[in-house]
Amino acid sequence: MDYVGRFYLSSLLHLTFYSGFYLIYLRSLGLTDGQIGLLIGLSLVLVALLEVPTGVVADKISKKASVLLSKLLLVPGTLLLYLAHSFTGVLIATLFNSLALAFLTGAETGWLYELLSRDGRESEYPMIYGRLRSFEMAGGFVEAVSGGFIAHSFDMRFAVLLSVPFALLSALILATVPADTARSGASYGRHLLESLRFVRNSPEILRLFVYANLIGLPLTAFTSFMQLYFYAVIASVIIVSWISAGYTLIGGISWYVDFGEKLRTVIYKWSPVLIPSLTLLAGVNGCLGFPTLVFGSLFFAQAFKEWQGRFQRTIPDEKRATIGSFYSLFTATLSGGLNALAGWLYGRVGIMKGLVLLSIVFLLLGAGTALKKDI
């Protein structure tokens, strides 16, 4: 199996069996919707604060080492989540898991792109990136279906504990992949300043930062709370887990299938309108929640694959993880604020009405962007 296949296998076997009912698990610990929203937002803010330091480390030391450390940090994070009995316990687990995510973002894609570029296969990156996300989603389908049955047959805590060995297995597989070789020879501070100047002086990078969030944030406002959305309609952990599994299955297919550059570009252009239109419909009628997951996943996957190809082509190898971390910092800050706002708004007016209000705002922003020629 070549290194691309090992990336795929590692993503497939990184199973977190509690993902399909995570928010319900937090509720079972006595957390309120406000505390849950705060944790989601705090997690993203923590990742944002840690993104750039971990990205610089990946560019100066090793992207491979950064990814492996990310996998290993999930072990104490998951064990702490298993042992948690209160908001404080979940908060500490969130700190570890946020650090793990920070070490992963930017480094994984940068590592993969560099290996492909070294072999003259960089033109394959959008497709391979989509397949990587597809295998990740396939693993999400397995974990959601299996996790629901495990929680029903035993309990939710056991499903959390069972996730630990799979994090280790995923790390062991990636340990066999060739290491990246591009290194920044500049000092930490100089490398950081050079990367900042690169972003500041590149209008294309700045446009891509903004555009990715216009297509991603409307769906985030829905999917971050979708377990509670569906649980309000169907009060069953198993059924909510199945819905999550269905979402990951459709998402995996969306990432795996490539529509070709021409159609992908059309979807990329109009996603700022298409995606908030779907979430608006989900807010109007609960029966449209699952179709929103299906088509929202389809449109976002195709648009983001096109975005990834454009993004990676603009970045030098020795700055790839750092600039990827700048993007993640930008996105995590916006997403963290949005989730905190959404949690507050949903608590005040309900998820349905709150989703309608947020969708209208994003639809107005997206319409203005989609009508521009240079995107």
What is the pLDDT averaged over residues 323-338?
81
- HEC string of 81-136? HHHCCCHHHHHHHHHHHHHHHHHHCCHHHHHHHHHHHHCCCHHHHHHHHHHHHHHH
On the question of pLDDT at 6 being above 90, the answer is: yes
Task: Read off the tokens for 61.
Answer: 């030391």
Q: Give per-residue pLDDT as tens, 177-204.
A: 998 887 777 777 777 788 888 888 888 8
pLDDT of residue 79: 93
pLDDT given at position 236 = 67
How would you class 186 by CB atoms within 10 Å of its CB: exposed for 0-12, middle for 13-18, buried for 19 or more?
middle
- Whole-number pLDDT of residue 196: 83
φ, ψ for residue 169, nearest 5 deg: -65, -40
What average pLDDT does the segment 317-342 reach?
A: 81
- What is the reported pLDDT for 172? 94
Q: What is the mean pLDDT of residues 164-175?
A: 93
Tell me the three state secondary structure of residue 206.
helix
Token pair of 284 as six digits: 């109007």
Amino acid at 246: G
Tell me phi and psi for residue 84, to 5 degrees: -65, 145
Q: What is the pLDDT of residue 233?
A: 67
* Domain locations along the chain: 3-370
Span 336-348, average pLDDT: 85
The average confidence (pLDDT) of the chain is: 85
pLDDT on residue 68: 92
For residue 121, is pLDDT > 70? yes
The pLDDT tens digits for 224-281 are 887 777 777 666 667 777 777 677 677 778 788 777 778 888 888 889 999 999 999 9
Residue 375 token pair: 């995107």
pLDDT value at position 17? 87
Q: What is the pTM of this model?
A: 0.71
**pLDDT tens digits, 24-65:** 888 888 888 788 888 887 887 787 778 778 878 888 888 898
Span 276-288, average pLDDT: 88
Q: What's the DSSP call for residue 15? A: -
Higher pLDDT, 50 or 364: 364
Own/partner contacts of 363-369, CB < 8 Å, gap of 24 or more, are: 363/218, 363/273, 363/276, 363/277, 363/280, 365/214, 365/272, 366/214, 366/215, 366/218, 366/271, 366/272, 366/273, 366/275, 366/276, 367/272, 367/273, 369/211, 369/214, 369/272
Q: Which of 373, 325, 331 is nearest to 56 (CA)?
A: 325
Q: What is the pLDDT of residue 174?
A: 94
- Rg over CA atoms, the chain: 20
User: Is pLDDT at 176 greater than 90 in this prediction?
Assistant: yes
**Nearest Cα residue to 109 out of 141, 88, 85, 132:** 132
pLDDT of 1 strictly over 80: no
Mean pLDDT of 81-87: 90
What mean pLDDT is predicted for residues 124-153? Answer: 84
**Integer Cα distance of 187 and 374 in angstroms:** 36
> Quick one: pLDDT band at residue 373, thresholds 50, 70, 90?
low
Residue 246 token pair: 């269905």
pLDDT of 312 reads 84
Backbone angles phi, psi at 352, to 5 degrees: -60, -55
Kindly report the CATH class assigned to 3-370.
Answer: mainly alpha
pLDDT of residue 359: 92
Per the CB < 8 A criterion, the answer to whether 307 and 268 are in contact is: yes
Q: What is the DSSP letter of 2?
A: -
pLDDT for 231? 75
Task: Return d(Cα 216, Cα 296) in angstroms, integer.
Answer: 10
pLDDT at 370 over 70: no
Using a pLDDT cut of 70, give the percent of the chain over it. Answer: 96
